[in-house]
Amino acid sequence: MRIQQYVKKGSFYKAVVEDGSDIIFVVDFTGLIHYHNSSVHETLGYRSNTLVGKNFFDYILPSAAQDIKRQLKKSQKRAYSENVEFQFLCKDLSYRFLEFNAINLKHKEGLEGFILDCRDIAQRKENEAELVRLQKAKEQFLANMSHEIRTPINGIVGMANLLGQNPSPEERDTYLSAIKHSAENLTVIINDILDLAAIESGKLRFEKIGFNLRDLLPSLINTFTYQAREKRIDVEYFIDDSLNKILLGDPVRLNQILINLISNAVKFTHTGSIKVSCNAERELKGMCWVRIEVIDTGVGIPEEKLNTIFESFSQADASVTRKYGGTGLGLTIVKQLVELQKGSISVRSQEHVGSTFTVLIPYAVGKPSSISLSLPKNAKALKKAKASQLSVLLVEDNDINRLYAKSILKNWNCDTDTAENGLVAIEKIKNQEYDVVLMDIQMPVMDGYETTKAIRMMDPPQRNVPILALTANATKVDVERCMASGMNDYLPKPFTPDDLYRKLFKDLKITTKDKPKKKTDSTNKLYNLDYLRSVSGDNEEFIREMVLTFTQTIPPILEEMKTALHNEDWKQLARMAHQIKPSFTLMGLTSMRGNIVFIEENSKNGTRLEELPWTVLDFIRTCQALLPELANEALPA
């Protein structure tokens, strides 16, 4: 009863219309305003009734006024119109984005007018504009990445082709130097992307070791001497005497911050100088706030761009990227690295005058004994001693990557086994206990995720083996997927020997364990003749005949598979795989059967064709290496 009285009295009118958050206008068909509620004051700045008697269209953004008139003209024929966007002139002379729904009073009351229920959509429009801006920045970044990555790759491929044309020793050295330079440029670009991924995934770790800026900064400045001399600019540095002390933190990350800032200064400075100034901002309770300024006389940054200069995929503008190159991630990474160390970074800049980047990071003050000699003179010998006899299974499908990782492990005197896909890896792990498994992710037959899950389902001790992902994919999603599958850690490609050593022995703390030797005899071979022995009652003559038949019939089929692959005759390739599949079961070649099934199924269905050539060629190489060993089984005892 009380609600009915509330409605009859019209009390809801004051609550909903007069005091509501929506802006309400009542206008006639000519646009004359007959009423507006108090929300006009809150949102647009006009006091009560000050717009009554004015024309609604006079307050619309002039460039859009005719369009709004046309839309309201059409609305005269409809009972209701909705979601009409417009910009309305505020009291402070700015224009604000609104959106109205129009109720046609002609249809209800016979009156030639509208009730316009307007909502403030300024924030929504700002969000939409920001999304468009970020999308354009990201598109520009991807286009830039394509150029930045292709340029060094083109250099590497071009120089490698020239090396194959019997160059003179001098030319050879020149080509190798160019390849190395291009590879280093490519590594910088990729590392920027990987660093950002590591930061976003929360996997970036900071050291807390002793260092002195007087040791770190001079050698860092020296790395820019050649570039600066080439551009005829001076690079100077100053370290206040108050900073002649041991600081506890991560000197490698500080180095990375300064390299980014100084390289940017060198890149954008054409005349004048660059100065790096280090001071103690304040010192309190064993903490020292280090203030580092990188000051240049370069091209400067437009004022309107200063707010976005630290964002991902952002540089001052697209022309900067085209002219100077770079990923557009350097300053983003710097800001993240500084803030993760509870520091701050700011920038002051004036176009055609120069820029000053200021970094403030707090460090604990240590003692001389805190200084860490991270790479002593006998570091190589220490690595060999620590890694010696470490039993490693390297699971990697790429020949070059496998050779690179295996060479590193060989230099450390590791006992290294290799597997070209997950299925082979599982067979090897069944027969031997390893200290660690280095696991590639993207492989044919069985990828790294599936392989890891299968290993974790084995019986101890095999299922407990530490697994380190070696992955070219290091986004937050990829890292989380590695961990979810059961891996212990990941190392992004490309990696250096120091990266691998640090990950194995510092992060994972891998040690050599006493374990059983590899199983001998047939269990250490790809083939197993137990099935033939059981069906023949251990008849050696029968077994030799079957093995001889296999070794004689398989080579021609392998040649036919090569031809089919060359001609991209997938149906023929599927028939060949199907034909030899039973023979591999008879010979106990179970680890290779997975490859045959992969070849047969995908050739038949026309799927995963980009992986087929490598899988077929790898299968053929394995068979050709296996056949002589298997042929020995056919020799009389």
Q: Phi/psi at 356 (nearest 5 deg)?
A: -130, 115
Residue 297 pLDDT > 90: yes
Average pLDDT of span 7-31: 70
Domain count, the chain: 5
- pLDDT for the residue 287: 94
CA dist 548 and 456 (Å) reads 39
465 Cβ contact list (under 8 Å, min separation 6): 429, 433, 434, 435, 436, 437, 455
Residue 375 pLDDT > 60: no
Q: Are residues 319 and 218 in the same domain?
A: yes
Q: Are residues 232 and 290 in the same domain?
A: yes
Residue 80 pLDDT > 70: yes
Residue range of the domain that includes 180:
126-201
- pLDDT for the residue 308: 76
Q: Are residues 221 and 242 in the same domain?
A: yes
* 2 within some domain: no
Q: Which helix (H) or strand (E) is 545 found in, with range? A: helix 540-566
Average pLDDT of span 365-390: 58
CA dist 88 and 183 (Å) reads 56
Q: Are residues 314 and 455 in the same domain?
A: no
- pLDDT for the residue 468: 95
CATH of the domain at 103: 3.30.450.20
Which pTM does this prediction carry?
A: 0.43
- Surface-to-core class of residue 158, CB atoms within 10 Å of its CB (0-12 exposed, 13-18 middle, 19+ buried): middle
CA dist 96 and 90 (Å) reads 7
Residue 507 pLDDT > 70: yes
**Could you say which of 469, 488, 519 is where a domain stops?**
519
CA dist 402 and 416 (Å) reads 11
CA dist 127 and 130 (Å) reads 5
Cα diameter, the chain: 115
* 9 within some domain: no
pLDDT by residue (tens digit) across 393-421? Answer: 999 987 777 878 888 888 888 889 999 88
Q: Are residues 81 and 147 in the same domain?
A: no
* 7 within some domain: no
* 192 within some domain: yes
Residue 377 pLDDT > 50: no
Give percent above pLDDT 70 in the chain: 81
Place of tokens 């350097």: 330
Q: Are residues 352 and 327 in the same domain?
A: yes
Contacts made by residues 56-59, CB under 8 angstroms, sequence distance 24+: 56/25, 56/27, 56/31, 56/32, 56/116, 57/31, 58/31, 59/88, 59/89
CA dist 382 and 375 (Å) reads 10
Confidence of residue 523 (pLDDT cuts 50, 70, 90): very low
Asked whether the beta carbons of 430 and 451 are under 8 A apart, the reply is no
Q: Are residues 147 and 132 in the same domain?
A: yes
Mean pLDDT score of the chain: 81
- pLDDT for the residue 437: 95
Confidence of residue 1 (pLDDT cuts 50, 70, 90): very low
Asked whether the beta carbons of 100 and 117 are under 8 A apart, the reply is yes
Q: Are residues 213 and 354 in the same domain?
A: yes
Q: Are residues 298 and 365 in the same domain?
A: yes
The SS3 call for residue 252 is: helix
CATH of the domain at 456: 3.40.50.2300
**Could you say which of 94, 120, 146 is where a domain stops?**
120
DSSP string, 611-631: THHHHHHHHHHHHHHHHHHHH
* 8 within some domain: no
Q: Phi/psi at 202 (nearest 5 deg)?
A: 75, 20
Confidence of residue 361 (pLDDT cuts 50, 70, 90): very high
CATH of the domain at 248: 3.30.565.10
CA dist 421 and 396 (Å) reads 6
Higher pLDDT, 148 or 477: 477
CATH of the domain at 192: 1.10.287.130
pLDDT by residue (tens digit) across 446-486? Answer: 889 999 999 999 988 888 999 999 887 656 677 788 888 99
* 1 within some domain: no
**What's the Rg (C-alpha) of the chain?**
36
* 409 within some domain: yes
Q: Are residues 239 and 307 in the same domain?
A: yes
Q: Are residues 403 and 509 in the same domain?
A: yes
Residue 57 pLDDT > 90: yes
Rounded to the nearest 10 degrees, the angle between the axes of helix 476-485 and helix 448-456 is 30
* 11 within some domain: no
- pLDDT for the residue 364: 93
Residue 293 pLDDT > 90: yes
Residue 596 pLDDT > 50: yes
**Could you say which of 488, 519, 550 is where a domain stops?**
519
- pLDDT for the residue 277: 95
Q: Are residues 295 and 328 in the same domain?
A: yes
Residue 391 pLDDT > 80: yes
CA dist 50 and 38 (Å) reads 11
